[in-house]
Amino acid sequence: MRFGIVVNEGPYTHQASDSAYQFAKAALARGHEIFRVFFYHDGVNNGTRFTVPPQDDRNLQRLWSELAEAHKLDLVVCIAAAQRRGVLDANEAKRQGKDGDNIAPGFRISGLGQLIEAGIQSDRLVVFGD
Amino acid sequence: MSQATSKKKFLYINRRAPYGTIYALESLEVILIGAAFEQDVSAAFLDDGVFQLMNGQDTSGVGMKNFSKTYRALGDYEVRKLYVERESLAERGLTLEDLMPITYEDEDEDYAEKPSIRLVDRSEMVRIISEQDVILSF
């Protein structure tokens, strides 16, 4: 089956990102396809490489980046939500006149149309959040 | 599931009051963008989500952007089915008269203005939700 995944909450405050990660990992292990993972609302905060969680805890950003690398996952951060919350790639940083970017490896910034497209193209769209 | 080439039924479920969290505003942004994809779109308002459609919203005291007028433009985006749960309204002491008059123009009937808001009871809401292909809940 082809899944789309939506993550609506930030890391650590909420379990949504953990659950989505475990779901994606399990689905891939069973041979399913992940069309896209879309990060919205505070979920965009999963896509900053500047998080430094304690070493004895999981590093969610790194887990997502590694999963994306291993399975060629499409991790998309919503641009409008990301701009509100300070998640930028190099292009956006330049465009907005900011002095740096923080997007994590394997993530890309794009529009809400990518969320709708995931709903259209996937057999099931699974939403993680409150 | 339906073919990728045919329309899917999208339902946006709004469960939260408009200004306490950002969910209502960012839900509206998804609805507006999604309108360009020409799917079969409807929105549901239940629990505190019914407050999103309240008439006469005034955010001047809290310093936040008042985005309530955008709901009235949904008809222009071909979003014409706004299901409001009757029980959620009643539990909050509200009636249909407390909500914004949201309409759309029906091109099949000489662009007659018709109400977009449809009051449905809880069991009907269950049926509506069960008929969808894609559900995004905010």
Domain that holds residue A27: 2-128
B98 assigned to some structural domain: yes
B8 interfaces chain A, CB cutoff of 8 Å: yes
pLDDT at B4 over 60: no
Q: Which domain holds residue B83?
A: 9-137
pLDDT one-digit tens code per residue, A90-125? 999 999 999 999 999 999 999 999 999 999 999 999
Classify residue B3: in a domain, yes or no.
no
Domain contains B1: no
For chain B, the average pLDDT equals: 95
Contact assignment for B134 to A117 by CB distance below 8 Å: no
Q: Note the pLDDT of residue A73.
A: 98
Nearest chain A residue to B27 by CA distance is A41
Closest CA to B134 of A77, A43, A126, A113: A126
Total structural domains within chain B:
1
**What is each CA distance from A30 to A1, A69, A87, A124, in whole angstroms?**
10, 18, 32, 15
Residues 6+ apart with CB under 8 A from B108: none
Chain A residues closer than 8 Å to B39 by CB: 116, 119-120
In chain A, the number of structural domains is 1
CATH of the domain at B112: 3.40.1260.10
Interface confidence, given as ipTM, is 0.92
Q: Is residue B25 part of a domain?
A: yes
Out of A40, A113, A124, name the one closest to residue B26 (CB).
A40
User: Which of A13, A39, A78, A112 to probe the B interface (max B CBs under 10 A)?
Assistant: A112
Predicted local distance difference test score (pLDDT) of residue B83: 98
What phi and psi values does residue B64 have, to the nearest 5 degrees?
A: -110, 160
User: Does pLDDT of B47 surpass 60?
Assistant: yes
Q: How large is the average pLDDT for residues B90-99?
A: 98
Is residue B102's pLDDT more than 60? yes
Q: Please compute the mean of the pLDDT values over residues A18-38 and round it to a whole number.
A: 98
CB contact under 8 A, A40 and B36: no
Mean pLDDT of B60-67: 96
The pLDDT assigned to B5 comes to 59
| pLDDT value for B90 | 98
CB of B64 within 8 Å of any CB in chain A?
A: no
Q: How far B107 CA sits from the closest chain A CA (Å)?
A: 26
**Residue A109: CATH number of its domain:** 3.40.1260.10
Q: Do B34 and A41 touch (CB under 8 A)?
A: no
Higher pLDDT, B4 or A62: A62
Choose the closest CB to B134 out of A8, A41, A125: A125
Contact list, A112 vs chain B (CB under 8 Å): 29-30, 33-34
The shortest C-alpha distance from B33 to chain A (Å) reads 6
Q: In angstroms, what separates the C-alpha of A24 from chain B's closest C-alpha?
A: 18
Instruction: Give the dihedral of Cα atoms B19, B130, B91, B43; nearest 10 deg.
Output: 40
The C-alpha atoms of residue B43 and residue B83 are separated, in whole angstroms, by 6
Q: DSSP E strands: which ranges in chain A?
A: 2-7, 33-39, 75-78, 107-110, 124-128
Mark yes or no for CB contact A116/B137 under 8 Å. Answer: no
Q: What is the pLDDT of residues B26-43, one digit of tens each?
A: 999 999 999 999 999 999
Residue B4 lies in a domain: no
**Which residues of A belong to the active site?**
78
